[in-house]
Amino acid sequence: MWIDIVFSGGGVKGFAFAGALKVLEETGYQFKRTAGTSAGSIVAALVAAGYTAQELKKIMSQMDTNKLLEPSARMRFPFYKWLRLYFKMGLFSGEYLEWWLAELLKAKGIEEFADLPKDALKIIASDVTKGKLAVFPDDLEDYGLDPNHYSVARAVRMSCCLPFFFEPVPLYDGNGVKSLIVDGGILSNFPLWVFSSDGELPTRPFLGLQIVDKDSEFKEEMKINNAAELFRGLFKAMREAHDEREIEKLKGSSIVFLPVDKVKTKDFTISHEERERLFQIGETGAKKFLKKWSY
């Protein structure tokens, strides 16, 4: 059966997606349209390009995540880190991620959005200059760019630009005004809405795969007692408020929760044992969901 699928953000926790996809594929599901934010956009792009769950697991098992950090000898000096953060607005460029993904996509004959079926892939990013969500390739025209002839890998890189960690990617609109594009998870970490049909029945079934903290599949109140906790609360609200209504509406019917613990979003030194555990979490979450899902 053909379905549409949406992947949440989650950093390296997103390795769990490969396990969930394996179960879905073995159950007979194929993916017509994919969408994702941040780490989810990487998986969405690879699935849209034709990678199977087994291929994804192999890629993720062999991936040298340390290379994403592009170490520099000068990064050993704290003052240089602050200078880079101030002038570049990110500790790392994100160029390796783009190159790595471009090579994987090229192996399947995919470079630009035109190489994919129409509407097969939606990438979510955040335009912090204009203060709005950006959906690629759809919104590329707003920046004077041809949506069909834009790099899929570059769009994914923008969706993964975690603020202050990776440098923002600049885009220029038709008037030459520069926008800085960052991680889509800042404004929508789980874009279930992206395939909505304005109240109409969906063309086909769809599922959302969401990375959640273990034992907190549903929203919990935060305790805020100081300025640091207030900042975290504000950041969490920005990430979740846009999606909360859709999640509440669909959490009992179309969302596969993948509860992850003991792994941090930016744990780029993740071991092979931890990766295998994440694959198993994905498989377990999908099997649990499919026991009660029918369409």
Whole-angstrom distance, CA of residue 38 vs CA of residue 233: 20
Active-site annotation holder among 183, 188, 243, 254: 183
3-state secondary structure of 58: helix
Answer yes or no: 139 catalytic: no
**Is the C-alpha dihedral spanning 5, 22, 287, 244 positive or negative?**
negative
Give residue for tokens 């892939």.
121
Q: Which two tokens stand for residue 82?
A: 């602050």
Contacts of 141 (CB under 8 A, 6+ apart): 147
DSSP 111-164: SBGGGSPTT-EEEEEEETTTTEEEEETGGGGGGT--GGGSBHHHHHHHHT--TE
Answer yes or no: 183 catalytic: yes
Amino acid at 133: L
Give how far Cα 195 sits from Cα of 183, 190, 192, 276, Å: 20, 12, 7, 31
Q: Which two tokens stand for residue 257?
A: 């929760």
Active-site annotation holder among 4, 8, 38, 159: 38
3-state helix, strand, coil in the chain (%, to 5): 45, 20, 35
Cβ atoms within 10 A of the Cβ of 284, count? 16
Cβ atoms within 10 A of the Cβ of 115, count? 17
Provide the annotated active-site residues: 38, 183
